[in-house]
Amino acid sequence: MRSTDSYFCIDDFVAGARRYLPRMMFDFAAGAVFDDVTFRRNRSAFQRYILKQRVLVDISTRDIGIDLFGKRRDLPLIIAPTGPAGMVRYKGEVALARQAAATGIPFTLSSASSTPLEEVARDGGGDCWFQLYVSPDLPRSYEVVRRAETAGYEALVLTVDSNFGHARERDLKNGLTIPYGLNRRNAFDLLSHPGWLTTTVLPYLMRGGIPGFPNFATARDDQGNERFLKFPGFNWSHLDELRSAWPRKLILKGILTPEDARRAADAGADAIIVSNHGGNVFDAAPATLDALPTIVEAVGDRMTVIVDGGVRRGSDVVTAMALGADAVMIGRATLLALAAAGEPGVKCALDILRGEIDHTLAMIGQPELARVDDSIVSRAPA
């Protein structure tokens, strides 16, 4: 078991992940698009809010759990879909799912993951959600949806803000290719990280080779080659068919305006995730925390509202809940913990956030997380 003795906050895992991963994989996991403006905006938004500290309140017992979709969750967290999980650690998706189950929270598997969704559900256990990127080959995309249903996934998370493919500058400079491969740009970088090669890459090579994308319906490009292609034509008119095809919870991820939130509710979605993809798709998007209050006002009484983006501290989680979120998604926090220290790192990251959420509740004099509201939060002085 890898030691986690040197990790005391989520940001500590960033340095550990940087040491372990080749630059190509670290930038893919930790970086964002273009100038990182949206990425930084997500983080700085939390610093614009303060929580009101209250004293002489009986806080001898505290409850940091929530009810989500009719189930008790021990923490207000959901592990977000992160495509590189299986390439930062061997079968990393299973490790994330297993620790989510042990913690009593849902895990969301990306359709860009490296491990078959059936294997993740079987070996990870717990409540698994499946995130869907829609391919131009719609029938094959629906085959993946049926696989997720058969495998027992609790919710389908449709990503709606990334139907248009793009190449990130860092990935081009680092020689990252999809599917993953060795080339003149990345060869020295990869070979300079023997720990990653022996513990992540070698186990795949010994079992048949570097994995592709077993949970994504690839499509043929103009040259007839199978590619990881997204469907830019997918729109609101397709949602009725998807809603009919999926009998469980349907969640739209990537909502940033009240108008789109209302359309999602009208289309029969059970929940939305206020998300800008962690700054990975559009560098002029608002911070999700800034977008959250008006969206909650528009649809909070009609559907579940989840938020992600920039969460690094337990106080961030409490702030988001106070502004109306029903739950909070975390992605990079657990992905980088996985890279830095394997599955024990994921457990450590979740334990850190648990402790910080509990500490925040104590400091604001609120014994129950479910009872926080906007009366405890205000804008920080300029």
Question: Is residue 365 a contact partner of residue 57, using CB atoms and an 8 Å limit?
Answer: yes
Question: Is residue 154 a contact partner of residue 249, using CB atoms and an 8 Å limit?
Answer: yes
pLDDT, residue 226, reads 64
The CA-based angle 32-24-12, given to 5 degrees, is 65
Residue type, 210: I
User: Greatest CA separation found in the chain?
Assistant: 70
pTM for the full model? Answer: 0.96
Task: Supply the residues annotated as catalytic.
Answer: 277
pLDDT, residue 1, reads 46
pLDDT in tens, the chain (382 residues): 468 999 999 999 999 999 999 999 999 999 999 999 999 999 999 999 999 999 999 999 999 999 999 999 999 999 999 999 999 999 999 999 999 999 999 999 999 999 999 999 999 999 999 999 999 999 999 999 999 999 999 999 999 999 887 778 888 898 888 778 888 888 899 999 999 999 999 999 999 999 989 999 887 777 766 678 899 999 999 999 999 999 999 999 999 999 999 999 999 999 999 999 999 999 999 999 999 999 999 999 999 999 999 999 999 999 999 999 999 999 999 999 999 999 999 999 999 999 999 999 999 999 999 999 999 999 998 7
pLDDT, residue 85, reads 97
Query: Distances in Å between the alpha carbon of 81 and those of 19, 104, 126?
Result: 23, 17, 15
pLDDT, residue 236, reads 95
Q: Residues near 226 by Cβ (< 8 Å), separated by ≥ 6?
A: 218, 219, 220
